[in-house]
Chains A and B, each alone.
Chain A
Amino acid sequence: MAEKMELNEVEVWDGNMAASQAMRQAQIDVVAAYPITPSTPVVQNYGSFLANGYVDGEFVMVESEHAAMSGCVGAAAAGGRVATATSSQGFALMAEVLYQASGMRLPIVLVVVNRALAAPLNVNGDHSDMYLGRDSGWIQLDGFNPQEAYDLTLMAFKIGEDPEIRLPVMSHQDGFITSHTAENVRPLNDDEAYEFIGEYPMVNPMLDLSKPVTYGVQTEEDWHFEHKARQHHDLMTKVFGKVEEVFDAFEKKTGRKYNIVEKYMMDDADVAIIALGSTVETTIMVAEKMRKEQGIKAGVVAPRLFRPWPHEKIVEALSGVKAVACLDRSSPNGAFGALYNEVIGSVYQSDNHPVVTNYIYGLGGRDFTVEQAEEIYKELAANAEAGKPTTPLQQFVGLRGPKLSFY
């Protein structure tokens, strides 16, 4: 029986430690992992918990991320609670197996510490890997700081494993900016945390030899479409309700309130920045400053769920604004940013039609500064005033050299 760890009411943890502690408390049956910067400490911490007697489950060191996720698929199909962690190139190498996991409806938890994709090689944070996962059929939760990385990793088990959902879940955090930044974190104690997640609800375990089942069959045109449609249906209709239920239960337990779409100062906002990751927090601080110093009614909108895409909540969050900036931390390589496209797709169906512009920022860990956020809010205020874009539709910010913009 694993030992319990004594935790302080307030710990100073970085995002990696926060995620690995949540994994330890979840009493996972199998972790199959291959370390990669910046998520290495998640795996390293977990390995040290195991070596020191705090973990009962199996820890399988594999030869690649493809093997890591394959091991997770096997263990989850066998009937266990399963999780792993990765970043960037490792995530890309897992990509094939990510679709296997979700298609087989295996509720694996994957901690993704977001990092840029090579080339050029870069270990720092951006959202390229998170965006790469967006059609993989996984639920994608996004934490903005170490506390949220802890909370959302715990909640990921409860959401994905629900027999009504049975889908794998990614718990995202920003590489280095969150994963290697130590901040105050208030953890649950081991008993409370496990009690909150609950025992793993087994569904069709392969190790139940009295009831043989098959995973990953070949279907071709006869059944493939129906299976994919059912998975999409569940993502579109079942996940939001379950996520809200888990968020509510978590608030009752901890007092910490999560929403499918987070809104800050949006009640009377004229302009809004919509963003993901640690950027959201810097932007909240700047929005407060813009209100005080510039008289700009600034707000911030942040999807807590990137997949499934919370269309209705986004429409509602942006229902009163005149101008919106969508911040994408990934090179779209020949298009508008992914977040911009999602937001445009949603607000086009809404009664409110704000001016929506796209900013590409922070690639490869380039600092997202207060100054950049201020500049964006000023441009949004001008757009709101004019009722049309006063800037190009897509702009790069924080880039050296001549200004880069399109359309």
Chain B
Amino acid sequence: MLEIRWHSRAGQGAVTGAKGLGDVVARTGKYVQAFAFYGSAKRGAAMTAYNRIDDEVILNHQKFMHPDYVLVIDPGLTYTADITAYEKEETKYIITTHLSKEELIESQPKLKGRDVYVVDCIQISLDTIGRAIPNTPMLGALMKVSGMFELDYFQKAMESVLSKFPQKIIDANMAAIERAYNSVK
């Protein structure tokens, strides 16, 4: 069982990202779960979303998890949200930031000794999609770090998940995924 926790602000697309990932993974015959804590969250409020991925039917409906991956798609949440909550030794962090990994860890010392990767999903989505929607670039970064799928395969699958959108938006998302895949460190 692979477990993923997203840290996001409502409106940044973490739920869509988690569902998109689920959609892609389900096409490979695996079982998936994608859910979020909403409450009465308003746009901009800090929130978390989750994925579970397994080869067998997923029976576990508890919200609690020890994540294998923590994906932070809003740079500010590294400092204000409890992103290391319920971590395990092998938890990998992929964090949206304009800082280098060293600068990031210096600015948030609790990441010291953790398996941290950085990628600027905000800048990438601004450059490619034209809006700060950091979810699809984060998926590109996750593919690189996790080795879950090859870039080509993942892009093709995402294309069909996004098929209801205009071609221009699909192309922009593909570019965002590719740039994040190639720039995550």
A residues with CB within 8 A of B: 10-12, 14, 123-124, 145, 176-178, 180-184, 278-279, 281-282, 284-285, 367-370
Contacts and interface: CB of A to CB of B under 8 A. Distances in A.
B13 to A, nearest CB: 14
Interface string B46-70: 0000000000001111111000000
Contacts of B36: 180
Contacts of B126: none
Interface residues of B, number: 22
B22 A182 contact: yes
Nearest to A121: B40
Of A10, A181, A282, A369, most buried by chain B (CB within 10 Å of CB) is A181
B64 A12 contact: no
A278 B22 CA distance: 19
A10 B40 CA distance: 31
Contacts of A370: 60, 62, 64
A367 B62 contact: yes
Given A10-B26, A123-B40, A182 B34 contact: yes
B35 A182 contact: yes
B56 to A, nearest CB: 10
B65 to A, nearest CB: 10
Given A10-B26, A12-B23, A184 B31 contact: yes
A94 B73 CA distance: 41
Given A14-B35, A124-B39, A180-B36, 17 more contacts: A11-B26, A12-B19, A12-B26, A176-B38, A177-B35, A177-B63, A180-B35, A181-B33, A182-B19, A182-B32, A183-B33, A278-B61, A281-B61, A285-B60, A367-B62, A367-B64, A369-B64
Interface of B: 18-19, 22-23, 26-27, 31-36, 38-40, 58-64
A375 B59 CA distance: 18
Contacts of B18: 182
A12 B39 CA distance: 22
Given A12-B34, A182-B22, A182-B33, A177 B61 contact: yes
Given A123-B39, A176-B38, A182-B19, A12 B32 contact: yes
A282 B31 CA distance: 15
Contacts of A180: 35-36, 38
B59 A181 contact: no
B59 A285 contact: yes
Nearest to A278: B61
B35 A181 contact: yes
A281 B54 CA distance: 15
B58 A183 contact: yes
Contact of B63 (A123, A178, A367): A367
Contacts of A368: 61-62
6 contacts: A14-B35, A182-B22, A279-B61, A282-B62, A368-B62, A370-B64
A184 B33 CA distance: 8
A255 to B, nearest CB: 14
A176 B35 contact: yes
Contacts of A278: 61
